[in-house]
Each structure stands twice: as structure tokens, then as C-alpha cells.
Amino acid sequence: MTTAALQPQTTTSQPALGDLIALVSGVLILIAYLILPLRSDGGATGFAFIDSGTTFPALTLIVGVSAIVAAIVNITSLREQAARWYFAGLGVVGLVFLFDNALRGKPGLALGGWLAMLGCVLMLIQVILPRPGYVAHARPSDVVFALIRVLVATLWFTQLLWKLPWNNFGCAAGALTPAAGTSGLCDWIGKEIAQPRYGLYKDFLTNVISPNLSWMAFLIVGGEAFICVSLMFGVLTRLGGLAGFLMGINLFIGLTAVANEWDWTYLMLPLLNLAFLVIGGRYFGIDGLLYQRLSTPNSSGLAKLIARFVS
């Protein structure tokens, strides 16, 4: 993809109906999660429900947020026809929650769940609508990589849910003391210490991380939160991909010697994140919008440098 493909080349100032529908769809999903019960087995809102350790409800939420971001970016800057396929892909991914819930025989969806599913269906419907005056530069691979970016962002999001600061980082009540067999972050660091791949890494955990975990836990969670937001919004995506790659390498070193852990899990994770160091978030993320704003002929040297980073 050339950088010219990211320059404004539209012939209309009117946003396409399909983009507006995608925007409304994302808002519907977000409202459903904010204020309504998601499933009929309880009155918990969607935001409370996703903290239960389930993956697909969290994925549907990220789909909604990503749809809002992409719709705004496409309306204001990109005007890319292939956005229809990106939104349709988001709709399919979001509907996985419904099918998984039904096939596993779980309690049915409540009002919030059905409203979220309606948002996903609307994202499928918009694919048939024309986008007059829009450009056609994105390749199928751009759409696929953008969808993969959303999935990887969801992975990092779900890993945040069980180690949030207000839940004591997932550790047992009291001081943050790593020990295998406890819970949350303390448990996993304890397992890394108990079953190290490298002695030097064990020494690092024992002498540096463990005695300072009360404040270093914020760095760990903050780093994962940055990766999640970067990939979800497609903003500073190359930096988010680099951070995800480094975090993935750290997990590979720390966890591949732990019993019942699969080496390839922690090899594929850094490689997936490394892809976005190369690809960036130009389709369909905020980086595409930033590039257009920062790469004008009158931009400063610093702005043009940042533009190269987000291209």
C-alpha cells in the first residue's frame, strides 16, 4: 500500500449511509453493555458480565468500540469503499457470542445481549449499500489485518480483566507477594519463579520484580492496557505492536517452562503483535486520520516524522 492511498481523494462531502449505520451499530453495542443486562441468568450489565472470564462477550464489546472508531475515521478522512467489508467482518465476529452462547446451552440473551446482536446484524446489512464518491484503495489483506488487529486487541483486553488494580491485580487480598498456587498476577509470577526457563530470569523476578511488585504491577497492567488501546483504536499501532511483541517475548521466557503450558502459544503471541509493527493501523484506525493531518506540505519536521511512524 502506498502512502498516496492515505491521502484524501474523495469526490463527495456526504458521508455514506453504510458508514452511518456502522456508527449507529457500534453505539448500540456500547449502550447495550453500559446500561442493560447482557444475559438472562442475571441482572449484570455487559461491563459487569465480561469480568466473568468469558471471551466472546468481551469480543463483541471490542467490535462495537472498533466500529465506532472506524466509522468516524472513514467518514472524516479515509472515505474508503472497502470499509463495508471491514464492518461486515466486525459484524460476523461480534455474532460469535450469540452462536457460542446457544451451542453451549447457556442461558439466553437478555435485552442488552439482543441489542448488541442487532448492532452486529446491522453491520452485516450495511455491506449492500453503495458508497458513492468513495475511493477504493484498500486491498483484501488490509481488511483482514484490520480484523486481526481487533482480535488481538481483545486478547489483551481479556488479559487485563483478571488483573485490574481495584481487584488487587487478581492477587489474593493483602500485599502483592508472588507465590504459585495463590491467584492472579501473583500466582503467575510465582509459577515463573518456581519453574523457570532460565536461571537469570528467575533471579530478575526474585530480586527485582517480587520486592517491587506493589508498584511494578501498575507498569505491567499499564503496558498491557496501552497495547490493547493501541490495537483497538489503531492509534500509534506500530508502537503498540512493538510493545506487544516485547511483552510476548517476556511471556515466552517466563511461561514456556511452566507445566501444562504450550510453547507455541507464547511464540505466536509476539509474532502476531510484530505484524502490526510493520502494518500499522492505517486501515481502519486512527493512524490513517493522523497520517493525513501530519503529512501535509506545511507540516513541521516533527509532524512529518510522526507521520512516517503512523503511516
The confidence score (pLDDT) of residue 3 equals: 45
Tens of pLDDT, residue by residue, the chain (311 residues): 444 444 444 455 788 999 999 999 999 999 999 999 998 887 788 888 887 667 899 999 999 999 999 999 999 888 999 999 999 999 999 999 999 999 999 999 999 999 999 999 999 999 999 998 898 888 888 899 999 999 999 999 999 988 889 889 989 888 898 988 888 899 999 999 999 999 999 999 999 999 999 999 999 999 999 999 999 999 999 999 999 999 999 999 999 999 888 889 889 999 999 999 888 887 889 988 887 777 777 777 777 777 777 76
Residue 195, Cα to own-chain centre: how many angstroms? Answer: 30
The angle, 0 to 180 degrees and rounded to 10, between the axes of the packed helices 286-294 and 56-73 is 30
pLDDT of 199: 92
Nearest to 224 by CA among 216, 93, 34: 216
Give the span between the Cα atoms of 306 and 310, in whole angstroms.
6
| Residue 239 region by backbone torsions, left for phi larger than 0, else alpha for psi between -120 and 50, else beta | alpha
Interior angle at CA 223, CA 217 and CA 229, nearest 5: 135
pLDDT at residue 307 in the model: 73
E-state strands within the chain: none
pLDDT of amino acid 5: 45
